[in-house]
Amino acid sequence: MIVVTKTLIGMPNMHRVATRHLGEARPILGFTLVELLVVIAIIATLIGLLLPAVQSARESARRTQCANSLRQIGLSAHGYESAKKFLVPSFLGDNSLISQAGGYNSWPTWAALILPYMEEKSIADLWDLKRVVAAQTPAAYQTPVKMYSCPSRLPPVLSQNDFATPGGTTSDYAACFGTLITPASDTTFSQANGAVVPAIPSIGPGDAKGPVLLSSRHQVPIGKVKDGTSKTAMFGEKWISPTEPRGKNGDASVYSGIRNTQRRMMGYSVPESGNRKLLAPTYTVSDVPISIPGSYFGGPHPETTLFVFVDGHVQPVSNAAANEVLTAIATRSGEESVDTNGL
């Protein structure tokens, strides 16, 4: 309560006392401008500190999922080997259909051959393995297979300018063909020195659906992996140029006759007199040391490329690995000595 004293006019000795009550002062709500700016600066700093950690955690999770997909491919290839007593071939048959009308036709590739062994029976049952891919029902080659995709890359698409329009589904993984692309004159692929190489065909008379594969001669029993199953790569992440659209060229369908879509090389190539190193995800076509950009391995993960080896274990290999090391793990019987623990 505040007391106010006032002298009344004409009455010097008289005073009027007035009183009034004031309510309690209200608290000031909100921040001052300076306080608000400080809070914003603190929040921005925390976001800047946490965002890389969050992104790193997400990439780690994607890489783990990618490794699991490769592990499943490796286990499925082992299932094929147990049934056939040979390692799965990169494809059945030969390249004789690639230049024919319709282009890029192919006998079934490894991606179709291991489907029965990876709990994809519904897709496997759609395939007639004695027929070329263009003769299959579209659902056989267009249905995406989860284990063929890396979550760090763009989702699979149907290929373009391929054996059919639209073409087949894509894959982020490829078979290890060895160190070199075999010349056209090598019709039996005898120079293919990797673990996953073609099976030699016996082709019978065709019918209304096209040619028929009578049989195929597999080439690599597991005993021919003389360098050791734990030191020989079987499948790995294939390099895809970040400047090219999905579904074309080296990223065409995994069932396509465009061979670079389902098999890759690494290490020193004698015929080409050059090295195929592992390519980082930021590399473009102009950065490729040897011609044919679609022939390289290289994953989307920082600094490493994931591989599944013949014994079934999955291991990251540094993109900076020496060419001697890459040559050793790419070949099945080169008799090189390599310590895979330090890759």
pLDDT tens-digit readout, 54-103: 767 788 889 999 999 999 999 999 999 999 999 999 999 777 665 544 56
The pLDDT assigned to 137 comes to 96
The pLDDT assigned to 239 comes to 94
Match 């993984």 to its residue by tokens.
173
Whole-prediction pTM: 0.83
**What's CA 63's distance to the chain center, in Å?**
9
Residue 29 tokens read as 């709500």
At residue 110, what is the residue type?
A: W
Each residue of 117-164: pLDDT tens digit?
Answer: 998 999 999 999 999 999 999 999 999 999 999 999 999 999 999 999
The pLDDT assigned to 128 comes to 96
233-237 vs 304-309, strand pairing mode: antiparallel
* Burial class of residue 62 (count of CB atoms within 10 Å of its CB; 0-12, 13-18, 19+): middle
The pLDDT assigned to 96 comes to 67
Contact 72, 147 (CB under 8 A): yes
Alpha carbons 173 and 239: distance in angstroms, whole number: 9
User: How many other C-beta atoms lie within 10 A of the C-beta of residue 185?
Assistant: 6
3-state SS record for the chain: CEEEEEEECCEEEEEEEEEECCCCCCCCCCCCHHHHHHHHHHHHHHHHHHHHHHHHHHHHHHHHHHHHHHHHHHHHHHHHHHHHCCCCCCEECCCCCCCCCCCCCCCCEHHHHCHHHCCCHHHHCCCCCCCCHHHCCHHHHHCCCHHHCCCCCCCCCECCCCCCCCCCECCCEEEEEECCCCCCCCCCCCCCCCCCCCEEEEEEEEECCEEEEEEEECCCCHHHCCCCHHHCEEEEEECCCCCCCCCCHHHCCCCCCCHHHCEEECEEECCCCEEECCCCCCCCHHHCCCCCHHHEECCCCCCEEEEEECCCCEEEEECCCCHHHHHHHHCCCCCCCCCHHHC
Residue 22 pLDDT > 70: no
Lowest mean pLDDT among 12-16, 177-181, 201-205, 337-341: 12-16
Contact 315, 306 (CB under 8 A): yes
Residue 250 pLDDT > 90: no
Greater confidence (85 vs 106) lies with: 85
Alpha carbons 296 and 281: distance in angstroms, whole number: 11
